[in-house]
Structure 1
Amino acid sequence: MTVPNETLDARVAARDAASPNAGSGGAAPGSGWYWAVPAAGLLVLIVLGWAMFQPFGNEAKGAAALLMMLVLLFLKVPVAVAMAVPAIAGIYALAGEIPLQRTLMDVPFSSVASWSLSVLPMFVFMGLMLWSSGATTRLYRGAGLWLGWLPGGLAVTTNVAGAGLAAASGSTVGITHALGRIGIPEMLRAGYDKRLALGSVLLAGMSGQLIPPSVLLVVYAGVAQVAVGPQLLAGVIPGLLVAVASAGLLVAVAVVRPRLAPRARSGTASWSERFSSVAGMAPVPLLSGLVVGGLLAGVFTATEAGAFGALGAVLIAAVTLRPRELGRALSSALRMTVSGVGQIMFLLLGTAFMGRFIALSGLPGWLVSTFDELGITRIEFLLLLILVYLVMGAFLDPIAMILLTVPVLLPIAEGYAVSPLWFGVFVVLLAELSMVTPPVGILSYVVHRLAQDPEVRGDVSIRLKDVFTAAVWVLPVALAVLLVLVFFPQLVEILVT
């Protein structure tokens, strides 16, 4: 889940930058091409709809519904609608009117009126209030004083601050935006290569949806019907692995090619400056530690942890903001929380319809038996999924990708004795990687748009090509951690058991 306004800005930027007609107005409404694509899409939808009501096998009808969903997505129909409409038609085709009526009465309530999902608005609200209080800026400044002595110290600071902010917020876009606004100008003023500066900001967002509280892990738990608390704890060690691997890569680059990352002034910070920064840094790690520690110790349920974190964020903001500023921050955070969580709930509703239909069609069981007949091993299946998600990530945002694929792929993964908790971490990490994958990696466009602000870039020219080049820094880290998880799956559930 991303902060709604930032997500909208990122998608608009992505659309404008990625469109081959950007700046030229696109095809004219009267041209043949303007109507050819939707007309062809409508024709395909009619054919697929016809096929669903023919005497074909249930698996074939399931495949037809999935193709119908993909066509609707291609035609830019909202994701929730693109999932719900083929699913409802498919349930009627497979089971008839009475089961469809029962589904329509049951699913809208059961899919979103879940006690475990009540943690979602609290985690989103917690992150928004911490940003409003200025805690993110103080955390970054303090981390710079403590880590500036390292080779590539400012880049490492950005990465470590990203891990710290991930433990206080479930928004990758929000973390990247906050760190980019603070970190990019600092690194450029220190003489850092612009691609390394951009890459360190992109790397900093990678752990954002693995270290609790993670909105994507909560969404996955809702789709996969697993407990939210254990799923959140399953992301801790992989998230820390991503942060450590990212920091190690940045230090290695600075050692091998020091001209890319000159030593910054903050490397000469005195011990008194460092210790004086601790008070400003403390609120974020302290609150995050209490939330995660309470989950680990069994003091909190996931919902109680979310409520505690939201209350703690409000108290931190109350201490640091004036009354009028606090009122504005609360109002803004509440509006954005309601808007963002409402979007997610609508998506979960569409996913629930599609999941019910897929289970009814028997498509997952057919795929499991097909893979078994082909002799595909567990490792081969997971490596194949890495390629599939990398391709899908170039065209879908993370929440849509999770909602579209988990109902189909999780039963297959369970057929290979893959734990649902492990699979959730695996899918979310791939979703994070997809956020920087060209041509539609949302984070890349967020960073590019941010870098056009003269206050951020100074007199340095930053093009979209530079951001995509910087995204290469993310690939080796993410793929290395993914391979570690594939070959050492027990790492995911160390804190859960």
Structure 2
Amino acid sequence: MTTEVSERPAPAAADGPAPSMVTGLRSWSIFSIGLGTVAACTIGMFLPLVPEAIGLLGCVMMLALIFLRMPVALAMMIPSLLGLYALRGTMLVESTMATMPYGETATWSLSVIPMFVLMGLLLWKAGLTDSIYSAAQRWLGWVPGGLAVGTNLAGAGLASVSGSSVGMTYTLARIGIPEMLKAGYDKRMAIGAVIVAGLPGQLIPPSIMLVIYAGIAEVPVGPQLMAGIGPGVLVAVMFTIMIVALAIMRPAWSGADTRLAVRSETTWPDRFRSLLPIWPLPVLVALIIWGTLSGTFTATESGASAALLSLLITLWWRRKDGPFRAVADAAVATISSVGAIFFMLIGVEMLSRMMVLTGITNGFSEWVESMDLNRTTFLLMMLVVYIVLGTFLEPLPMLVLTVPILIPTLENLEISLLWFGVFAVFMGELAVVSPPVGILSFIIYSIVKDPEVNGGQRITLGDVFVAAAWFLPMAIIVSLLLIFFPEIATTIPDLTSG
């Protein structure tokens, strides 16, 4: 037996190169192409080209560096400094390096960032995630598609705690998908409910992407965060309606036979008891909104008050399970996150300066004016552009690449920069779902391969992409609602400033 096994040719040798060798060659080829693109762009910047061409080469280099897995902040800084040197020489580069890091980050409007980030991380460390999902299940498990609806609304709640679509999706996928599969849900329905639950993640404060956009567009952070509340709630409500409609039209997709059991097993006292562990969440949201709208607090003071209350909640919640360790972990993570955000904002400002000097921003604005586009037609065009960009770019590169170019055009068309921030960030959220990039789709696929999650069902990457495709039309409808009814995003900031 041993001899026969040892003499049998390996399948890889009979069929061709070993898979590891093929993967290695493919990775090396991709790396070589990216490195060659960076080298070509570097050389091209110092050729006698028009400034616009230098700006375009800088953008291509930035994308190539991001493709090569370089940190986004460095991927923006390197081509920006090279472009500034090619355009104006050493003096401009030296002045930029000497003044921009401090000038871009030492502003009062950005002081709200560490407060909101700390608040979210403290509540995350306090362990509110399981409680939010449990409450959503008990209150909504009996309606058509109830577990999926509960997952969707729990995602909106977790968004206000974590501010991270990736972290929230990971949590919901681990908790929600096994529960829905056990209840008889179609696997695509279960996966789709988790995917879209992440879409409000960067709209409901605290939102890191909205903060970064505020830095790029140079708008106040507080009003920008307030602008995300209405659209974030709208996204959650629209997908809830869609899930209920699908469950009514296709009862077999949503475990229809289990709903009566859920209704009979869950009593009203159980429902109300499930609300007790999550009381900090509505209290904090109410504190932030009331304080800002009433003028009692500035945005920074609201964030500081919420962070202080979150600290007290975390110490009490974890009083028997290492409370000070939880606070220390949240503090360290806050320093790391805020440092990364500020470093990124410095890179964005460098890129913006380079783009302005090359004339690309004004050139694009003049081109739009020559086409005689009004607000609606321009935004519909940008909807298509962002959907296309989302098929191969992640949210942050999308914002960095487009917003500095678009700002003059937005001002000429009298489009609110606060409103556009919500629109652009939501389109970026679609990018993390849409294939072939679809980061959230790949994260969920990696999770559902675990037998403890899939319950023995075979779930392919194609199933994940199909699940995402089911819900994308509703996301487009939400985008159109934002375009035609901008008040959804601008009402709360207007009340705040008024």
- Secondary structure at 2:437 match in 1: coil
1:492, CA displacement in angstroms? 1.7
Tell me, yes or no, if structure 1 residue 340 matches structure 2 residue 337. yes
TM-score, length basis structure 1: 0.89
1:82, CA displacement in angstroms? 2.4
Which residue number corresponds to residue 18 of structure 1?
Answer: none
Tell me, yes or no, if structure 1 residue 161 matches structure 2 residue 154. yes
1:112, CA displacement in angstroms? 2.3
Which residue number corresponds to residue 217 of structure 1?
Answer: 210
Note closer, same or farther for the CA distance 1:155–1:341 as it changes in structure 2 (3 Å cut): same
| Mapping of residues 30-109 of structure 1, within 5 Å | 33=29, 37-38=33-34, 40-51=36-47, 54=48, 56-109=49-102
Equivalent-residue separation in structure 1 for 2:28 and 2:239 (angstroms): 49
Deviates further, 380-389 or 320-329 = 320-329
Which residue number corresponds to residue 292 of structure 1?
Answer: 289
Equivalent-residue separation in structure 2 for 1:207 and 1:28 (angstroms): 37
Which residue number corresponds to residue 20 of structure 2?
Answer: 24
Deviates further, 483-492 or 125-134 = 125-134
- Secondary structure at 1:111 match in 2: helix
- Secondary structure at 2:434 match in 1: coil
CA deviations 1:421-479 (Å, max 9, x no partner) are 11101101101111111122221122222223333222222222221111113312211
Note closer, same or farther for the CA distance 1:326–1:26 as it changes in structure 2 (3 Å cut): farther
| Mapping of residues 332-411 of structure 1, within 5 Å | 332-411=329-408
Q: Is the 8 A contact 1:163 1:204 kept in 2?
A: yes
1:35, CA displacement in angstroms? 7.6
Which residue number corresponds to residue 412 of structure 1?
Answer: 409
Equivalent-residue separation in structure 2 for 1:341 and 1:122 (angstroms): 10
Q: What amino acid is aligned across from residue 159 of structure 2 in structure 1?
A: A
Q: Is the 8 A contact 1:233 1:296 kept in 2?
A: no
Deviates further, 104-113 or 191-200 = 104-113
Q: What amino acid is aligned across from residue 37 of structure 2 in structure 1?
A: G
1:218, CA displacement in angstroms? 1.1
1:379, CA displacement in angstroms? 2.5
Equivalent-residue separation in structure 2 for 1:211 and 1:482 (angstroms): 16
1:402, CA displacement in angstroms? 1.6
Q: How many equivalent pairs are there?
A: 474
Which residue number corresponds to residue 11 of structure 2?
Answer: none
Unaligned residue ranges in structure 1 (runs of 5+): 1-20
| Mapping of residues 201-280 of structure 1, within 5 Å | 201-261=194-254, 262=256, 263-264=258-259, 265-268=261-264, 269-280=266-277
1:70, CA displacement in angstroms? 3.1
RMSD of aligned alpha carbons? 2.4
Equivalent-residue separation in structure 2 for 1:81 and 1:399 (angstroms): 13
Note closer, same or farther for the CA distance 1:31–1:287 as it changes in structure 2 (3 Å cut): closer
Equivalent-residue separation in structure 1 for 2:28 and 2:275 (angstroms): 64
Equivalent-residue separation in structure 2 for 1:33 and 1:156 (angstroms): 44
| Mapping of residues 101-120 of structure 1, within 5 Å | 101-120=94-113
Identity %, equivalent residues: 46
Q: Is the 8 A contact 1:433 1:474 kept in 2?
A: no
1:60, CA displacement in angstroms? 3.3
Q: Is the 8 A contact 1:233 1:495 kept in 2?
A: yes
TM-score, length basis structure 2: 0.88
Equivalent-residue separation in structure 1 for 2:86 and 2:231 (angstroms): 43
Q: Is the 8 A contact 1:176 1:443 kept in 2?
A: yes
CA deviations 1:246-288 (Å, max 9, x no partner) are 0000000000000001243333322222222221232222222
Q: What amino acid is aligned across from residue 365 of structure 2 in structure 1?
A: V
Structure of greater relative contact order (alpha carbons < 8 Å, 6+ residues apart): 1
